[in-house]
Chain A
Amino acid sequence: MTTPSRMPEPYGGQGSSANLADILERVLDKGIVIAGDIRINLLDIELLTIKLRLIVASVDKAKEMGIDWWESDPNLSSRARRDELTRENAELRERLARLEELEPGRAEKKEAP
């Protein structure tokens, strides 16, 4: 890439060889946030950058190394968040069923003519 003479020469190997951490830091963390038609959960992006900061080479490599705690951490994994919601739902349904059992009169009244 050529740089016009009015600009100083790029430092730190901008372009193809620029440090990945520098690029990700800017394109994921900085810049203007606009909600497009395709919704990206910004929370997910933030968590992703946290993950990137924590994980050595890639998620797969970390898994190979046995580092997969974020998968079960609802704060870090959307899957775990979903799992937690499913669990919470089941729990609430169970509680509701129990409450209905405690009030048999009300339930019967509805059904009986």
Chain B
Amino acid sequence: MTGLRYVYAVCRPFGTPLQSQLSGVAGDPPRALTHHGLVAVVSHVPERDFAEEPLHRHLEDLDWLTETARAHQGVIDALTTVTTPLPLRLGTVFRDDSGVRMMMEAREEDFQRTLDRLEGRVEWGVKVYAESEQRESARPAQKATSGRDYLRQRRMQTRSHEEMWQKAEHFSTRLHENLSAFAEDSRLHPPQNPALSKATGQNVLNAAYLVPRAHSEEFVELVDRTKGDAPGMRIELTGPWAAYSFAGEAT
């Protein structure tokens, strides 16, 4: 067969067929490759784009990367609705089916163990933003009438900024404690750059929580309830994701 094999995820055999309209990374619909008790979800991808040299080049191209990342996530997302996938990192490519089988054979125990741990769980992302701009623009900027006045205004500004940070930190810490207590596991990620996320405000908490699918609704309600708690704080909930943040080594 022609082309290389792009692997999205490894999971246990699932009865439901994947959506037929699902197009994978290079427009090739993902298919299941079964080996022993495991399934690798793969697409056929062309060498001209996914061999070593072109792949390196493409990764530097933000448009290509965006498209590929969305396609990758689209397949993982579809899998999440029918099973518990172990998502592989973007750009895991093998020469042929037998290469994929060898990898599955070698990693079988690891995969089974991780699948046992994550079975029936999903990941929810929670971010907290401190909306500092709003606060600042709410206070009309007054022109300082004297040097002393200017310094007084500066001091007040700095103080209100510090207060905002303290409040944001306090709020985030408490929220994270509450959510961690409910979730089976949690991870703290570095705050996101607003340039890439296009989100307003300062990202003060960026966390992921591992929650059994059956308890997801309760988790969502728990997050929703805290939303009105702190003025100036914005809470963003994303998910359900495949357990990306928890698929690595167990803690």
Q: Which residues of A are interface residues toward B (Cβ below 8 A)?
A: 1, 3-4, 6-8, 10-12, 14-16, 18-34, 36-41, 44-45, 48, 52-59
Per the bound structure, the CA–CA distance linking A40 and B57 in Å amounts to: 11
Known A-B contacts A31-B89, A38-B55; A23 and B50 likewise in contact (beta carbons under 8 Å): no
Contact check, A59 vs B241: say whether CB atoms are below 8 A apart. Answer: no
Per the bound structure, the CA–CA distance linking A25 and B125 in Å amounts to: 11
Choose from A14, A24, A31 the contact partner of B87 (Cβ within 8 Å).
A31
Identify the closest chain B residue to A51 (Cβ): B60
Q: Which residues of B are interface residues toward A (Cβ below 8 A)?
A: 4, 7, 10, 19, 50-52, 55-56, 59-60, 62-63, 65-66, 69-70, 72-74, 76-78, 80-82, 86-95, 99, 103, 107, 114, 122, 124-125, 189, 192-193, 195-199, 213, 216-217, 220, 236-241, 244-245, 247-248
Known A-B contacts A12-B125, A22-B125; A30 and B248 likewise in contact (beta carbons under 8 Å): yes
Known A-B contacts A20-B196, A21-B193, A34-B103; A7 and B69 likewise in contact (beta carbons under 8 Å): no
Contact check, B245 vs A26: say whether CB atoms are below 8 A apart. Answer: yes
Contacts of A37 in B (CB 8 A): 4, 93-95, 99
Contact check, A54 vs B74: say whether CB atoms are below 8 A apart. Answer: no
Contact check, B59 vs A48: say whether CB atoms are below 8 A apart. Answer: yes
Per the bound structure, the CA–CA distance linking A61 and B92 in Å amounts to: 29
Contact check, B248 vs A32: say whether CB atoms are below 8 A apart. Answer: yes
| Additional A-B contacts beyond A3-B81, A20-B66, A40-B55 (11; CB < 8 A) | A4-B81, A11-B237, A21-B193, A21-B198, A22-B125, A22-B197, A24-B69, A28-B69, A33-B89, A44-B56, A57-B195
Contacts of A21 in B (CB 8 A): 192-193, 196-199
Contact check, A56 vs B195: say whether CB atoms are below 8 A apart. Answer: yes
Give the distance to chain B from A108, nearest Cβ to Cβ, in Å. 46
Identify the closest chain B residue to A3 (Cβ): B81
- Which of B51, B65, B236 has the most A CB atoms < 10 Å from its CB? B65
Identify the closest chain A residue to B92 (Cβ): A36
Contact check, B77 vs A31: say whether CB atoms are below 8 A apart. Answer: no
Per the bound structure, the CA–CA distance linking A39 and B52 in Å amounts to: 6
Per the bound structure, the CA–CA distance linking A54 and B78 in Å amounts to: 31
